[in-house]
Amino acid sequence: MSDKPKFVYVIYIASTPDKVWQALTDPEQTEKYWFGYRVNASGNAGASFIARNPGGEDFDKGVILESDPPRRLACTWRPQHDHDKHERPSRVTFELAPLKGQVRLTVVHDDFDEGSKAFEGISRGWPAVLSSLKSFLETGQALALSTSDVDDKRYAPAAAESGA
Partner 1 sequence: MDAVFKALADASRRELLDRLRAENGQTLGDLCARLAMTRQAVSKHLALLEEANLVATVRRGREKLHYLNPVPIHEIAERWIGKFERSCLQALSDMKQALETRDE
Is residue 45 near partner 1 by the rule CB under 8 A?
Answer: no
DSSP state of 26: -
User: Closer CB to partner 1, residue 6 or residue 32?
Assistant: 6
Enumerate residues 85-144 that contact partner 1 by CB under 8 A: 106, 108, 123, 126-128, 130-131, 134-135, 143-144
Among 149, 153, 157, 160, binds partner 1 (CB under 8 A): 149
Widest CA span of the chain, in angstroms? 46
Query: Any idea what the Cα angle at residue 149 is, between residues 15 and 25, rounded to 5°?
Result: 35
- How far is Cα 164 from Cα 31, in angstroms, rounded to an integer? 21
Q: How far is the CB of 164 from partner 1 (least distance, A)?
A: 10
Measured CA to CA in angstroms, residue 57 lies from 28, 39, 71, 79, 157 at distances of: 16, 12, 29, 12, 11
Enumerate residues 6-25 that contact partner 1 by CB under 8 A: 6-12
Task: Give the footprint of partner 1 on this chain (CB under 8 A).
Answer: 3-12, 106, 108, 123, 126-128, 130-131, 134-135, 143-145, 149, 151
